[in-house]
Structure 1
């Protein structure tokens, strides 16, 4: 593709702006949106060749943006970016038309690589994948946030002792 238009849809403003600057340095012509509604509106007004869409946005689900992009531009390469990674959402993203699915935090190199990989090719595994401890910590944090930061409810859902969970939450994230 010679068209390097890129739409970034993410409600995390610092991440969105940092990723936009990094992708502009890599040659993309970037537009940003902070919500599903604005993302769909921008995709319909000027269909992008590439898109990076967060799964969970303040006003809805990023899969709606992916579907809208696919309706106006079949050849668009869309990457789903999310902090709520699991198999079910990855499958839903691919069914909606996303070409790849990256967990947060993903750096600009990972995003660029996922966008530029050919449709028939599979992306290479990451050079430095998250450690098992980091994956566990991310999962615990995600469930904790989904339970509105309620330690007792989180411990119940994770089937772990409340004091054990409190000790894990008090520690810094593993690398």
Structure 2
């Protein structure tokens, strides 16, 4: 299941993006339900809090059912607002500045790939890297990818931070450590 990726970020991104474009659209609704089911299992008896999540782009693993699950379970859900400097503000009915992400106890973040250490390969703008740097100790950072986007090693830089776990439609949640 873990795969090799080029260690050049641009080449790795191009490879993953091509695979996502080739993915059959029919899988998306199945993946949406599967991801929400795995998230429900992960949350278990956890008391609801504030969750930072995102709205998936058409080629990304879907997030609609996860957001609905969180809201129905009593979680307050905030979504990112891309700011002119590529940082992320947050919206939960009210607009908040980038530091508001520190209030979240759960961060669901996009990725193109995630490796065994929890390093994630993003789109390249650094937006979510900044948010991960602002998160509070004890919060759970969960990256969402397709099952074939788990890598032995993703290219990373010293400023990159690892996520705690990865969520995929088939394998579910994997907690990661170095």
TM-score by length of 2: 0.44
Higher strand share: 2
Higher relative contact order (CA 8 A, sep 6+): 2
TM-score, with structure 1 as normaliser: 0.44
Structure having the higher Rg: 1
Structure with the higher helix share, 1 or 2: 1
